[in-house]
Chains A and B, each alone.
Chain A
């Protein structure tokens, strides 16, 4: 079971309170976690990555285990601590403004 933390706007859109838990079949990767997330919460499709190209939206970042995984290949294995559910996979809305 993978733990996923969403930014507040996406928690509101998905109507969830805190962390989400998603079940991944096969290796835990960015792509497989997002596939599972979007399967369970279809309203999130297109809000984190493009629905056609699956490219990460520009102002979204992926963090886990104090690492920025945003530019890792989507099929790279996530850290073992994320795969085992010890640490969450963080979906971050970039801080912007002035």
Chain B
């Protein structure tokens, strides 16, 4: 029997939510790691029982947890994230150089084919890899050591590597995104990287069309069409059809083109979802209405999805890693809010219902389709 498992990271722990394919009734377990920030929980596409979770606090630092039974039990694994070689400097908020310093893991991306291979995107921005199920971590240093590295600067949330896109058709290709350096692309498994930000325009930086320095909030890709990428930038929703070599804006009729998450329909590579947020200075939904916007044309023609979502007096945010899609025939779309709600739709966004309403602030939402 098929079903889904939704993995939620919050300000005070992790939650695991399971349902059958109807996605009406939910079993909720948690909090796991109570009291810790859990920035991300994600399952292995190669083994659905293998989950990884990133927990941290300012007191005790970073811990990585692993489950081998679908989230019923967890065990801490390795947490030594040591930069490779000379640390170097990046720019600090005041424009002075500042040595790279590990702070936390933002995102865990398990391999598409090997449950023991997992990537970690960290703050200060760098990419790490474990080949033994999280016991040991090694940096892929060429990214941090890119010639533009000394000019990278943190966004308001820190200088985080928050997005890692893997591509089954091109196993050596990978895209990552850093706030606020932008997108970088490798074609050789991480040995070398180049910026992939051509076409981005950001008014808040000295050269609005710079090669790096853009505050990219999230990028997404459909596995069947890996040369097409979608981006929610700080401002602007963008699209690339040449594997990141160039981007064009597709925001059009959105009520605001500021936001954090973006995701792609599992069966329609040209159908995408965003959650518009009023502005970078306010971080609330426009007009107090929580609306997911869907474009069936890959951007530029957006429809508001409101059925079941609060349409008055709603002032929550939806963070960059807090949206996910399952792959059931009628696909499920999920997102979590800083107000602690996790909403789900079992009909591709046409209607929504809360799975849970009163969690701590939600940092991340992932979903596994179980068959």
- Residues in A lying within 8 Å of B, measured CB to CB: 7, 9-10, 12-13, 43, 45-48, 51-52, 57-60, 93-94, 96
Main secondary structure of the interface of B (DSSP, over half): loop
- Taken together as a complex, chains A and B put the C-alpha atoms of A45 and B34 apart, in Å, by 19
Q: Which residue of B lies closest to A52 (CB)?
A: B82
Report chain B residues within 8 Å CB of A43. Answer: 63, 76
Interface residues of B in 15-46 (CB under 8 A from A): 34-36
Flag the segment in B53-61, B262-270, B338-346 that touches A.
B53-61
**Is B62 on the interface with A (CB-CB < 8 A)?**
yes
Contact B82 A47 (CB under 8 A): no
Given contacts A10-B60, A59-B59, A93-B59, are A46 and B79 in contact (CB under 8 A)? yes
How many of chain B's residues have a CB under 8 angstroms from any CB in A? 14
A47 to B57, CA, bound (A): 9
B80 at interface, CB cutoff 8 A: yes
User: Count of A-B contacts with CB under 8 A?
Assistant: 41
Which residues in B have some Cβ–Cβ distance to A below 8 Å? 34-36, 57-63, 76, 79-80, 82
Please name the residue on chain A nearest to B77 by beta carbon: A43
Q: Is the beta-carbon distance between A9 and B79 smaller than 8 angstroms?
A: no
The residue on A at minimum CB distance from B35 is A9
Closest chain A residue, CB of each to CB of B55: A13
Question: With the chains together, A52 CA to B83 CA distance in Å?
Answer: 10
* B59 and A9 contacting across the interface, CB-CB below 8 Å: yes
- The residues of A that contact B58 with a CB separation of less than 8 Å are 58-59, 96
21 A-B contacts, Cβ less than 8 Å apart?
A9-B36, A9-B59, A9-B60, A10-B60, A12-B34, A13-B76, A43-B63, A45-B79, A45-B80, A46-B62, A46-B63, A46-B80, A47-B63, A48-B60, A51-B80, A51-B82, A59-B58, A59-B59, A60-B59, A93-B60, A96-B58
Min CB distance A16 to B, Å, is 13
Residue contact A57 to B63, C-beta cutoff 8 Å: no
- B76: A residues at CB distance < 8 A: 13, 43
Beyond known contacts A7-B59, A47-B63: 13 more, CB 8 A cutoff: A10-B60, A13-B60, A13-B76, A43-B76, A46-B61, A46-B63, A47-B61, A51-B79, A52-B82, A58-B58, A59-B58, A93-B60, A96-B58
